[in-house]
Amino acid sequence: MSAHAEHNSHHHAPSGFKRWLFTTNHKDIGSLYLIFSLIMFLIGGAMAMVIRAELFQPGLQFVDPHFFNQMTTVHGLIMVFGAVMPAFVGLANWMVPMMIGAPDMALPRMNNWSFWILPFAFSILIASLFMEGGGPDFGWTFYAPLSTTYSNDNTALFVFAVHIMGISSIMGAINVVVTIVNMRAPGMTWMKLPLFVWTWLITAFLLIAVMPVLAGAVTMVLTDKYFGTDFFNAAGGGDPVMFQHIFWFFGHPEVYIMILPAFGIISTIIPTFARKPLFGYASMVYATASIALLSFIVWAHHMFTTGMPLAGELFFMYSTMLISVPTGVKVFNWVATMWRGSMTFEIPMMFSIAFIVLFTLGGFSGLMLAITPVDFQYHDTYFVVAHFHYVLVTGAVFSIMAGVYYWLPKWTGNMYHIGLAKAHFWLSLISVNILFFPMHFVGLAGMPRRIPDYALQFADFNAIISIGGFAFGLSQLLFVVVVIKCARKGDKVDDKVWEGAKGLEWEVASPAPYHTFEQPPVVK
Active site residue 302: yes
Active site residue 248: no
Q: How many CB atoms lie within 10 A of CB 45?
A: 19
Q: DSSP label at 227? A: S
Active site residue 163: no
Catalytic residue among 52, 75, 184, 424: 75
Active site residue 168: yes
Query: Exposure of 434 by Cβ count < 10 A (0-12 exposed, 13-18 middle, 19+ buried)?
Result: middle
Catalytic residue among 26, 184, 225, 330: 330
Catalytic residue among 267, 288, 290, 431: 267
Picking from 180, 27, 203, 205, the residue whose alpha carbon sits closest to that of residue 101 is 180
Active site residue 254: yes
**Measured distance CA(321)–CA(14) in Å, rounded:** 53
Active site residue 140: yes
Active site residue 301: yes
> What string of H, E and C letters represents the secondary structure of 104-151?
CCCCHHHHHHHHHCHHHHHHHHHHHHHCCCCCCCCCCCCCCCCCCCCC
Catalytic residue among 52, 184, 225, 301: 301
Active site residue 169: yes
Catalytic residue among 449, 450, 485, 502: 449
Catalytic residue among 147, 155, 168, 381: 168
Q: Which residues contact 232 (CB under 8 A, 6 or more apart)?
A: 144, 145, 148, 220, 221, 224, 238, 239, 240, 242, 243
Active site residue 453: no
**Measured distance CA(291)–CA(392) in Å, rounded:** 16
Catalytic residue among 26, 302, 389, 424: 302
Catalytic residue among 254, 313, 346, 375: 254
Active site residue 327: yes
Catalytic residue among 169, 320, 337, 466: 169
Active site residue 394: no
Active site residue 75: yes
Catalytic residue among 23, 37, 327, 428: 327
**Measured distance CA(486)–CA(330) in Å, rounded:** 32
Active site residue 6: no
Q: Does residue 138 contact residue 69 with C-beta atoms inside 8 Å? A: yes
Give the orientation angle of helix 260-274 with respect to helix 310-338, to 10 degrees.
20
Catalytic residue among 24, 104, 141, 502: 104
Catalytic residue among 20, 256, 382, 406: 256
Active site residue 491: no
Length of the chain: 524
Q: Which residues contact 363 (CB under 8 A, 6 or more apart)?
A: 324, 327, 331, 391
Q: Does residue 200 contact residue 89 with C-beta atoms inside 8 Å? A: no
What are the catalytic residues? 75, 104, 140, 168-169, 252, 254, 256, 267, 301-302, 327, 330, 449
